Amino acid sequence: MPWYIVKMSSRSIGRQDFSSPNIKIHAIISPMNNQNEQLSNKRHTLAHLLAAAVLELYPDALATIGPVVDNGFYYDFEFKAPIAETDLKDIEKKMRKLLPSWKEMKGEEMAADLARAQFKENPYKMELIEEIISKKEPVSIYTAGKFSDLCRGGHSTNPSKEIAADSFKLSRIAGAYWRGSEKNKMLTRIYGIAFDSKKELDEYEAMVKEAEKRDHRKLGKEMDIFEFDDDVGPGLPLWLPNGGAMIEELEKLAKETEFKGNYARVHTPHIAKESMYLRSGHLPYYEDSMFPPMEYDGGKYYMKAMNCPHHHKIFASRMRSYRDLPLRLAEYGTCYRHEKSGELFGIMRVRMMQMNDAHIYCSEEQFAQEFQAVNEMYLKYFKIFNVQKFIMRLSTHDPKRLGEKFVNEPELWKKTEDMVRKVLVDSKIPFVEVPNEAAFYGPKIDVQVWSAIGREFTLATNQVDFSVPKRFDLEYTDKDGSKKTPLCIHRAPLGTHERFIGFLIEHYGGNFPLWLAPIQVKVIPVGEAHFEAATKVNALLRDAMIRSEADLGNDGLGKKVRNAKNMRIPYFIIIGDKDLAANKVTLESRDKGQIGQMEESEVVKRLVEEAKERR
């Protein structure tokens, strides 16, 4: 069976494009799915319908922009008086009333003067019109019913027939700055969700309710995993002991895997001089995402936003030969990103992150094997964490933006993109291709995964760098004595602790497997007469490196058991009179219920084996 690459336009791209339930591990990916395109067009049309309904109900409101987003659409408005979420029902009702009259969605190009005249009362549309004209692009207007709007297109041809009245719903309102800039006016954003049928809409809403139960912010607090504090600062998480235990386990997994893969572990500073980031190109291309510099000792220092320049310096610290390649440098490096306040989200989007980073320096001949080995590492991790659905998202450059957003090396862009594409095709790894989203120094792969309840996450990255090694004069001596510049593969299979643990909290609903659970065992004595035995068993477990705790509090047995279950602890051990008489303990499982009486040594052996195997 043939394999295909899906190329998507930047207009239509969205996470919903990858969420078809038939995309599984090693699924065949066919050319752009008409169903996805049609659904995107429906959602885009509904954004227009929302604007039409709002302007009928609130004639003094100003409509701005309304794109397609994950699972639906939104539109931003300036209202003269605030609206509430209780008003959404009336707006939704008006949308359904207007829909039958939208029998055609017609687009036409309009002369600039006519467009200005039509939207002269709306400064937001006027700004968009001037921007379109400055780029020498045509001004296009789409009309349905009595409503017209600036738009590039992508709509239902006959909305009244193609969109089911019960297939969409307005979900919430939020504040949003015009054009995403905090310097601009705050607008009101109305979100909607939309699918092809009411059944799909209902299924999505059920998934959202389940996601709310599994929200990493809610469970993270309940399970004492992480905390935020105003005195520390927004986006700077404090990892509590339970979170620290999870971090230790993830690092242990990564270090074991990378050791077997012949990676060398390094450590680098949290700050560096301005000159290094100028040389790497990060300041020209990435400065907005870096914290402002610190003036010190007559120069400027920046908080480390990425590990790669530091690793390049380690490569350059010695003369290198072809015999040294591939050189794989790994580090769980702490990085700092200047994320905007409105974009922070629990531990999924933070300003300090610990990254499962590594840089592989290799020759062009070694590239395919090294890149494939990284992908195989992803597959191993997916198996361990029971990730059943994923897709690789290959981001390429835009030739029109060379020198602006991407380094100006057209031949190297084509060559490296072809190399990455060939590895993916040859290995039959499912992927989609997205233009204009590469890193500034080369093509990249973002790994999209789905949690157990069907929500999509961008979890990890795998990038090719053909540019920055030259900036650092990185060289190795080849077999013929010539000097060559290595290729560099940037990879982070487990992403960051912050994002990955946030994903795992939802994926498992807090019911982590034994090896990953912050508290693995709770030892529960029935009464005070059993405290000594419980203390002894707890010591045996901890001697075997099992994270156990003995509950020696004053609560009754029932409450102690409930507390252990509420904390989603995988196992608890009950010790009562019958257990003391038999010189045994009673083992119970969070997932399987009561297992029964066992000897202490047998329990320890069983738990150690299960944790070691990462079942």
Note the pLDDT tens digit of each residue in 6-57.
333 333 323 333 333 332 222 323 333 455 889 999 999 999 999 999 999 9
pLDDT digits (tens, 9 = 90+) for 587-602: 999 999 999 999 999 9
pLDDT digits (tens, 9 = 90+) for 310-364: 999 999 999 999 999 999 999 999 999 999 888 899 999 999 999 999 999 999 9
Q: Backbone phi, then psi, for 259, in 5-degree steps?
A: -60, -45
CA dihedral 172→178→184→189, nearest 10 degrees, is -10
Would you list the DSSP string of 281-318?
Answer: THHHHHGGGSPPPEEETTEEEEE-S-SHHHHHHHHHTS
Residue count of the chain, please give it: 615
Q: SS3 of 525, please?
A: strand
pLDDT digits (tens, 9 = 90+) for 141-163: 999 999 999 998 899 999 999 99
State how far Cα 367 lies from the chain centre. Answer: 26
Between these two residues, 16 and 236, which has the higher pLDDT value? 236
Cα–Cα dist 513/302, whole Å: 39
Q: Do the Cβ atoms of 98 and 86 come closer than 8 Å?
A: no
Q: Do the Cβ atoms of 467 and 178 come closer than 8 Å?
A: no
Cα–Cα dist 150/119, whole Å: 9
Cα–Cα dist 183/186, whole Å: 9
Q: Please check the confidence at residue 5 and state whether its pLDDT lies above 70.
A: no
pLDDT digits (tens, 9 = 90+) for 203-214: 999 988 999 999
pTM value is: 0.80
Instruction: Look at residue 34 in the predicted model and tell me its pLDDT.
Output: 52
Cα–Cα dist 500/250, whole Å: 9
Partners of 593 in beta bridges? 589
Q: What residue ranges define each of the domains in the chain, with the CATH number in brackets?
A: 34-213 (3.30.980.10), 263-269+306-508 (3.30.930.10), 521-612 (3.40.50.800)
Q: Do the Cβ atoms of 81 and 27 come closer than 8 Å?
A: no
Cα–Cα dist 127/120, whole Å: 10
Q: Which of 30-44, 182-196, 256-270, 536-550 has the lowest mean pLDDT?
A: 30-44
pLDDT digits (tens, 9 = 90+) for 356-406: 999 999 999 999 999 999 989 999 999 999 999 998 899 998 888 887 788
Instruction: Look at residue 17 in the predicted model and tell me its pLDDT.
Output: 33
Instruction: Look at residue 35 in the predicted model and tell me its pLDDT.
Output: 57
Cα–Cα dist 504/135, whole Å: 44
Instruction: Look at residue 175 in the predicted model and tell me its pLDDT.
Output: 94
Instruction: Look at residue 132 in the predicted model and tell me its pLDDT.
Output: 93
Span 501-511, mean pLDDT?
Answer: 96
Pairing of strands 72-78, 68-69: antiparallel
Span 409-415, mean pLDDT?
Answer: 86
Span 424-434, mean pLDDT?
Answer: 87
Instruction: For residue 518, give the DSSP letter.
Output: S
Instruction: Look at residue 12 in the predicted model and tell me its pLDDT.
Output: 30
Instruction: Look at residue 455 in the predicted model and tell me its pLDDT.
Output: 86
